[in-house]
Amino acid sequence: MNADDPLVTWARKREEGFAAEAAREATLRERVLQQLHGGLWHTTSSDRFESILATGAILPEPNIPDSKRWCTGGGSEHYPYVRTLGGVSLFDFDQFDPGIYGERCPSSTWAYFVPCHLEWERAVWIEIDRGRLIPPHFLSGAQLLAKWKKDGAFGHNIMPEIEAAYLAPLPRAAFKRAFLADKHNDELLDIPISA
């Protein structure tokens, strides 16, 4: 094929566009990870965030159809582990290093959610104040992983070590702050957490 061939030119431009988009997403992922580092977080969509503020809590079983929820296509016998416990899934990014974690847990799906759930254009990240979590409702990443192994719940998804759980509605009083990550905007937008 000739370098001046319209098909070659089209393919080259298309690949350049893909590369630019991948670079932009990597930059946004790094920016979001800088915000998430060291914290305990829940991520949700913008409209679900509004529902969370209206109800005053992150609910373990919000009024969302299974078709809009993470990993429900295989039915309840394959729901995410935290959901089977009646809990709210949290990301614990305390001392998180994506390179080291990726080597240790190569099948983890954390990058599917950072900076945004891959099927969403934007995501809200809500930071949770660890000091406001009520034991025994809170399970750290290590506690959750140990329980998953003890229960032999291997048919249910878990993000080892970095997925934590709150086994009750998580009240807005436990929120520290929130921000919006948007795939089409390099800036992260702080969002008020009061109703």
Q: What is the CA radius of gyration of the chain?
A: 19
pLDDT at 115 over 80: yes
- Which pLDDT belongs to residue 91? 93
Tell me, yes or no, whether 1 lies in a domain.
no
- Which pLDDT belongs to residue 72? 59
Determine contact, residues 144/82, Cβ cutoff 8 Å: yes
How many contiguous H segments (helices) and E segments (strands) does the chain have? 5, 9
pLDDT at 5 over 70: yes
**Residues of 9-39 as b/e, b for ≥16 C-beta within 10 angstroms?**
eeeeeeeeeeeeeeeebeebbeebbebbeeb
163: its two tokens: 């997925």
- Which pLDDT belongs to residue 121? 86
- Which pLDDT belongs to residue 175? 97
Compute the average pLDDT of residues 62-66: 70
Tell me, yes or no, whether 162 lies in a domain.
yes
- Which pLDDT belongs to residue 70? 57
Tell me, yes or no, whether 186 lies in a domain.
yes
What CATH number did the domain enclosing 114 receive?
A: 3.90.210
- Which pLDDT belongs to residue 116? 80
Tell me, yes or no, whether 132 lies in a domain.
yes
- For the stretch 130-156, pLDDT in tens is 999 988 999 999 999 999 999 998 988
Question: Which residue range is the domain that position 167 belongs to?
Answer: 6-191
Burial class (CB in 10 A: 0-12, 13-18, 19+), 114: buried
> According to the per-residue pLDDT averaged within each range, which of 28-32, 47-51, 72-76, 107-111 is highest?
47-51
- For the stretch 9-50, pLDDT in tens is 676 777 766 555 666 777 788 899 999 999 999 999 988 999
Tell me, yes or no, whether 79 lies in a domain.
yes
How many domains does the chain contain in total?
A: 1
- For the stretch 155-193, pLDDT in tens is 888 989 999 999 999 999 999 999 999 988 888 999 999
